[in-house]
Amino acid sequence: MKKFFTLFAVAAMAFAAQANVLTVCEGESTNNYAPIYGLYYDTPNTRTQMIYPATMLTDMQEGEISEVKFYCANEGGIPTNLAGATIQLSFKAVDQDGFDEAIEVVDGATVVATTTIAGGESELVFTLDEPYEYTGGNLLIETLLTNTASYKTTNFYGVNTDNISSLFQYVWSTWSGPSVNGNKFLPQATFTFEAGQTPQPTQKTGAPVFNGYTTDGIHAYFVEIKESEPSTIYYRVQFGQDGEFTEWAEYEDILSYTQDGWYRVEAYAVADGKLASDPIAYEFVVNPATGLSEMATSKTVASTRYYNMAGQEMQQANGLTIVVTTYTDGTTSTVKVVK
């Protein structure tokens, strides 16, 4: 009375890297010490170090940073008389989420970019020489003035913090040596990064199983779809061999059919971290006299081919895929699979 058919389809998922942006410390507070000590543009080797805690950067984990920008709070942008000032940007992964009372400079940061101010810009932009792989954790960002300009204050937007999250160092005079001061402020920063590639699953989800049955005195046929492992099941239904399939829907409860005629139910399952299962199909006929009658003929699969939405043939299913199954009797079945 019941016929089972297996359609051979594979859903391979791989997402290419894509550009993303992450903005942190958006606020109306302003400060002229970070991201660069904005008063001492005329003092060589003036530098600022800022520590952005990992909790701010979780969306960027395993990504590759290609650009960082900060936002000037001055009316008219960065003063034009600072044109020619050159700033070097460096990164370092650190365990600390701020600076202690000793206010010690952290050594060993890696230079990743250099920019020269033109003046009048509302943003201070650093385009990295090579992408920097951020693997998680607290990120120290250092700016270092390598070419000087005028003595001029420059303010940037950001947020005030509870702990000492940035420090600035400058040479007060040739006889007193460098001075280091702490600051409870982090400037607003936007990171442009390439998202890490999502690992491609290799193991298929176990295919679901059909359980069909009737109940005495009720002219209806019931179809239960059982998972073979914890997963989400999707199904669709075709009524009449020339009928259109319904849209794929998530299976929630037992299905029931009362209209006399031929039915085909198709289903597949997807578990977290796995490929979708092979789709399976279940065919039956509801008959007014007996409730059910056996299908007269069965079909044997001769070949299965996969196409993308542009009509190009693929080796296996990938993303939104059209699966065309050809049977030995010459008929075909077309299945649109979304994984």
Question: What pLDDT digit, counting tens, does each position of 91-108 carry?
Answer: 999 999 999 876 888 999
Q: Give percent of the chain with pLDDT exceeding 90.
A: 50
**Average pLDDT of the segment spanning 123-150:** 92
Measured distance CA(76)–CA(78) in Å, rounded: 7
In a shared domain, residues 27 and 62: yes
pLDDT at 11 over 70: no
Q: Which of 194, 213, 242 is the last residue of a domain?
A: 194
In a shared domain, residues 290 and 309: yes
Q: Which of 146, 167, 194 is the last residue of a domain?
A: 194
**Average pLDDT of the segment spanning 158-172:** 87
Q: Which of 194, 213, 239 is the last residue of a domain?
A: 194
Taking a C-beta distance cutoff of 8 angstroms, is the pair 208, 267 a contact?
yes
Instruction: Please give the residue that has the higher pLDDT: either 292 or 86.
Output: 86
Instruction: Please give the residue that has the higher pLDDT: either 74 or 332.
Output: 74
Lowest mean pLDDT among 82-91, 175-184, 209-218, 220-229: 175-184
In a shared domain, residues 185 and 50: yes
Best CA proximity match to 34, nearest among 68, 74, 71, 76: 71
- Given pLDDT bands bounded at 50, 70 and 90, which one contains residue 9? very low
Lowest mean pLDDT among 2-6, 125-129, 261-265: 2-6
In this prediction, residue 116 carries a pLDDT of: 93
Best CA proximity match to 101, nearest among 182, 174, 37, 17: 182
Residue 85 lies in domain: 19-194
CATH code: domain of residue 332: 2.60.40.10
Best CA proximity match to 10, nearest among 314, 311, 331: 314
In this prediction, residue 2 carries a pLDDT of: 41
In a shared domain, residues 190 and 205: no
In a shared domain, residues 29 and 177: yes
In this prediction, residue 79 carries a pLDDT of: 87
pLDDT at 5 over 50: no
pLDDT in tens, 14-53: 334 457 999 999 999 999 889 988 656 778 888 899 999 9
DSSP H or E run through 47: strand 47-52
Q: Give percent of the chain with pLDDT exceeding 70.
A: 81
In this prediction, residue 141 carries a pLDDT of: 97
In this prediction, residue 139 carries a pLDDT of: 97
Burial class (CB in 10 A: 0-12, 13-18, 19+), 19: exposed
In the block, tokens 């010690």 appear at 104
In a shared domain, residues 59 and 187: yes
What residue type is assigned to position 176 of the chain? S
In a shared domain, residues 125 and 180: yes
What total of structural domains would you count in the chain?
A: 2
CATH code: domain of residue 67: 2.60.120
pLDDT at 294 over 70: no
pLDDT at 291 over 50: no
**Mean confidence (pLDDT) of the chain:** 83
